[in-house]
Amino acid sequence: MQSKLIIVTFISLFSFAYSVSGQKNIDSPYSRFNLGTLQPEGSFRSLGMGSVGTAMRDNSSIYFSNPASYSSLDTISFVFDFGLDYGSNFISDGISKFSSNDLNFHHLILGFPLAKGWGFAAGIVPISSGYYQISQTVTSADPGYDPTTGEYTETHNGDGGITKFFFGTGIKLSKNFSVGANLSFLSGQIKRDNSIQFSDFYNVFNNISEEKLVLGGINFDYGIQYTASFKNNYFLNLGASITTGNNYNTKYSQLSLKYTAYNVTDTISYVPNNSTKTFIPATYRFGIAFGKKNKFTAGLDYVSTKWSTSKIPGSSGYAADTRELRFGAEFIPDKYSNYSYLSRIEYRIGGHFGDNYLIINGEQLKEYGASIGFGIPLPMILGNPFSKTNLYIDYTKKYASPTNNLHAEGFLTIGVSLNLYDNWFFKRKYE
């Protein structure tokens, strides 16, 4: 028991430090707006099934999008989930192409029972990424060259993101009904820099602007689930959850100035580092799941957020309402097979399509994607069939009309997590 606590404590401290200092450095010009690029929610088991999770419940996984699911944790179990992901973004405007990639920490989640039918979970998960690097140099040979302006280089850089730390509980009110709640802490900062430097450095003013948003505050998630059991281990789950809308404490500053090579500067605009509020609207989730215990599960989620009511300093007018369908399935040939290791692997597939919360030039971006996943048993680590490595691969397309001068992005993600399950609260007769 002591060695297990040391291992988990070490990984927890390492991943927490990494999540604070590290950042997903994947270029996306669309991260220039709102809170940046929103990250998909869920553990890698969920993401391998198209991010379904509202009606899902399992004793070896944590579906934090609906805290009512925590009531499914076994009375003698402890679940620990730590994940890393690799992402690569492919950008195209129909003429030129660009790509970037990065490997980084994704999540740390743990859960354990408080009593029979009453569970607890906590974790650190990403909310958004604000990283991008854009640079364009216009010379006399370019079609858009203007001799009045001359040659110049335009640069746009973004950095930072928003992270959520949560802890919550779920409890069974009856044989079929469970409810739950999370307390969440959102924190992070997003910094954006823009500059225009002219080749005629000594005779013209160059422009530079800096923008910084620092956000923090608490919020709540509430969830409910209904579970019906049938003959031959078949089941039907219904679920609903809400992340409430909230005003988060924010400090926002913005500075724009022009300067010359002779240290002559002139402030164009200045917004001091004043305290304000960022309003993030509520997210509503509804889900259904059907399956056979230890054999297969199929799920469907509908998720909606009224982003048009958001208030994000420096990004007014760029947010639109979103609606998304998520669907997926998991199949296990023989979970407890003693003869075929491949039969014990969990095979997953899923998809999602809907709206992106960004609107530019009067057009809202759209998204669709597909994913596959595998739950690979690791009985050699803790000596039980529930510990596993979760692997998932997702490709998501973000697009809009080329006539609006908007580019398309194809985002490939590969995630690997260590999902440990052990009977920590079981007193063994023999050590």
Per-residue pLDDT of the chain (431 residues; tens, 9 = 90+): 444 544 454 455 445 544 444 456 777 888 999 999 999 999 999 999 999 999 999 988 899 999 999 999 987 788 899 999 999 999 887 777 888 888 888 899 999 999 999 999 999 999 999 888 887 777 777 777 777 677 778 888 899 999 999 999 999 999 999 999 999 999 999 999 988 777 766 667 778 888 999 999 999 999 999 999 999 999 999 999 999 999 999 999 888 887 776 665 666 666 677 789 999 999 999 999 999 999 999 999 999 999 999 999 988 889 999 999 999 999 999 988 888 889 999 999 999 999 999 998 889 999 999 999 999 998 655 556 678 899 999 999 998 877 777 888 999 999 999 888 776 555 554 44
Our measurement of the distance from residue 337's CA atom to the centroid of its chain's CA atoms, rounded to an integer in Å, reads 34
* Maximum alpha-carbon separation in the chain: 87
Distance in angstroms (rounded) separating the CA atoms of residues 348 and 364: 31
Provide the Cα torsion 63, 66, 70, 71; round to 10°: -140
Sign of CA dihedral 333, 337, 343, 348: positive
What is the distance, to the nearest Å, from the Cα of residue 138 to the centroid of all Cα atoms in its chain? 36
Report the relative pairing of strands 246-259 and 296-305 from DSSP bridges: unpaired
User: Tokens standing for 23?
Assistant: 């950042």
C-alpha 290/C-alpha 179 separation (Å) is 19
Residue type present at position 221: D
Structure tokens at 383: 């000596």
Place of tokens 């010009």: 29
Nearest to 42 by CA among 12, 69, 64, 15: 64
- Per DSSP, the three-state class of 96 is coil
Spatial distance between the Cα atoms of 88 and 275, rounded to a whole number of angstroms: 36
Contacts of 7 (CB under 8 A, 6+ apart): none
DSSP state of 130: -
Q: Which helix (H) or strand (E) holds 193?
A: strand 177-198
CA angle, residues 213, 43, 398, in degrees to nearest 5: 60
Question: Would you say 79 and 32 are in contact if contact means Cβ atoms under 8 Å apart?
Answer: no
Amino acid at site 412? L
- Please state whether the predicted TM-score (pTM) of the whole model is above 0.85: yes
**Coil vs helix vs strand at 145:** coil
CB 327 within 8 A of CB 351: yes
Cβ neighbourhood burial of 409 (10 Å; 0-12, 13-18, 19+): buried
- Kindly report each contact of residues 405-409 with a partner whose C-beta sits within 8 Å and lies 24 or more positions away, as own/partner: 405/93, 405/361, 406/360, 406/361, 406/363, 406/365, 407/29, 407/91, 407/92, 407/93, 407/94, 408/91, 408/92, 408/93, 409/28, 409/30, 409/89, 409/90, 409/91
What token pair was written down for 87? 């992402």
